[in-house]
Amino acid sequence: MTSEKKEQTSDIELKLDAEKKRSEEYLVRLKYLQADFDNLKKRCERQVAETKNYATERIVLQLLEVVDELEMATRIGRTSGCKDQPLLIGVEMTLKRLRKVLEQEGVTPIECEGKAFDPTRQNAIESVEREGAKSCTVDEEVRKGYMMKEKVIRPSIVKVEVPPSNSNSQSEKVIGEETK
């Protein structure tokens, strides 16, 4: 080969190497952009789901207040000897239907009376000391709490019973230990 052809060949090889390098850089950039796009897509899907759940939760919380009022109306209607039985039956049917709709959305009441107090699901407004109580136990549910799927959306408001405090005997123990 002549020197001119060798020069052309080496020039072409240099250009080819440069283009290969550029091509590889573009491929790397493309892969990063694809990964960024996939992450953005996942983040958007997650945000849409969170927004939907938030909106659903807000509506459910408002419906739970309606459930409370319908429960109170039926309770009063039953205890006061309501003269308008068909109206009471209609309210009970409406309440039953509303509970079913909420259940289909994953809303379930928190069962707590007679069970151990759970501060993640209940708010205590009063504690009553009782003989024989072994631990903090829910004595009375003042307002029903609800969960939506695995999340507490409205904690129960409860009164708890606790063992009597032995503040006198405990303070005597502490004082007795300090003097020894």
Q: What is the CATH number of the domain that holds 127?
A: 2.30.22.10
111 and 101 in a common domain? no
Domain range holding 44? 1-105
* Burial classification of residue 74, based on how many CB atoms lie within 10 Å of its CB (0-12 exposed, 13-18 middle, 19 or more buried): middle
> What percentage of the chain carries pLDDT values higher than 70?
91
Backbone angles phi, psi at 109, to 5 degrees: -70, 150
Please check the confidence at residue 84 and state whether its pLDDT lies above 80: no
Report d(CA 126, CA 145) in Å as an integer.
16
**Model confidence pLDDT, tens digit, residues 29-44:** 999 999 999 999 999 9
135 and 91 in a common domain? no
70 and 18 in a common domain? yes
113 and 80 in a common domain? no
pLDDT bucket at 64, cuts 50 / 70 / 90: very high
pLDDT at 167: 56
Report d(CA 68, CA 77) in Å as an integer.
14
Structural domains in the chain (count):
2
* Lowest-pLDDT range of 16-25, 135-144, 168-177: 168-177
pLDDT at 179: 41
98 and 23 in a common domain? yes
71 and 30 in a common domain? yes
94 and 9 in a common domain? yes
Helix, strand, or coil here: 149? coil
* Last-in-domain residue among 64, 84, 105: 105
Q: Which residue has the tokens 């069970």?
A: 115
100 and 71 in a common domain? yes
136 and 75 in a common domain? no
175 and 92 in a common domain? no
pLDDT at 174: 39
36 and 94 in a common domain? yes
**Model confidence pLDDT, tens digit, residues 117-169:** 999 999 999 998 888 877 889 999 999 999 999 999 999 999 999 988 875 44
101 and 175 in a common domain? no
pLDDT bucket at 52, cuts 50 / 70 / 90: very high
